[in-house]
Amino acid sequence: MNTPTRRIGIMAAMPEELQALLDVMPDESMERRAGREFWVGHLHGREVVAVLSRIGKVAAATTTTVLLSSYGVDQVIFTGVAGGLGDGVRVGDVVVADALIQHDMDASPLFPRFELPGLGLAALAPPATLTTAVRDTVEQVLSPASLAAGGALADVHLEALGLSQPRVHQGLIISGDQFIHSAQTSRALTQALPAALAVEMEGAAVAQVCHDFGMPYAVIRTISDRADDDAHIDFPRFIDAVARHYSLAIVEALLRRG
Ligand code: SAH
Interval 145-201: pLDDT, tens: 888 887 888 888 888 888 889 999 999 999 999 999 999 999 999 999 999 999 999
Q: What is the DSSP letter of 116?
A: B
- Tell me the average pLDDT of the chain: 93
**In terms of pTM, does the model score above 0.85?**
yes
225 carries an active-site annotation: yes
Strand partners, 200: 175
Q: How far apart (Å, rounded) are the C-alpha atoms in residues 258 and 255?
A: 5
Q: Is residue 3 predicted with pLDDT exceeding 60?
A: no
Strand partners, 81: 222
Q: How far apart (Å, rounded) are the C-alpha atoms in residues 76 and 55?
A: 17
Give the 3-state secondary structure of residue 224: strand
Q: How far apart (Å, rounded) are the C-alpha atoms in residues 226 and 102?
A: 19
Neighbours of 106 (CB within 10 A): 14
243 lines ligand 1 (CB under 6 A): no
Q: How far is CA 162 from CA 15, 128, 157, 195, 239, in A?
A: 25, 34, 9, 27, 15
201 lines ligand 1 (CB under 6 A): yes
Interval 24-43: pLDDT, tens: 998 899 999 999 999 999 99
DSSP line for 14-67: SHHHHHHHHHH-TT-EEEEETTEEEEEEEETTEEEEEEE--SSHHHHHHHHHHH
pLDDT of 1: 45
80 lines ligand 1 (CB under 6 A): yes
Q: How far apart (Å, rounded) are the C-alpha atoms in residues 143 and 149?
A: 10
Distance of CA 235 from the midpoint of ligand 1 (Å): 8
Contact status, residue 222 vs residue 247, Cβ threshold 8 Å: yes
- Closest by CA position to 203, among listed 86, 88, 103: 103
Distance of CA 38 from the midpoint of ligand 1 (Å): 21
Which is catalytic among the residues 200, 225, 228, 234? 225
Which is more confidently placed, 28 or 4?
A: 28
Strand partners, 196: 172
Interval 113-148: pLDDT, tens: 999 999 999 999 999 999 999 999 999 999 998 888
Interval 68-89: pLDDT, tens: 999 999 999 999 999 999 899 9
Interval 218-255: pLDDT, tens: 999 999 999 888 777 677 888 889 999 999 999 999 99
Please report the atom of ligand 1 found closest to the CA of residue 180. 23
Q: Is residue 5 predicted with pLDDT exceeding 70?
A: no
Contact status, residue 57 vs residue 101, Cβ threshold 8 Å: no
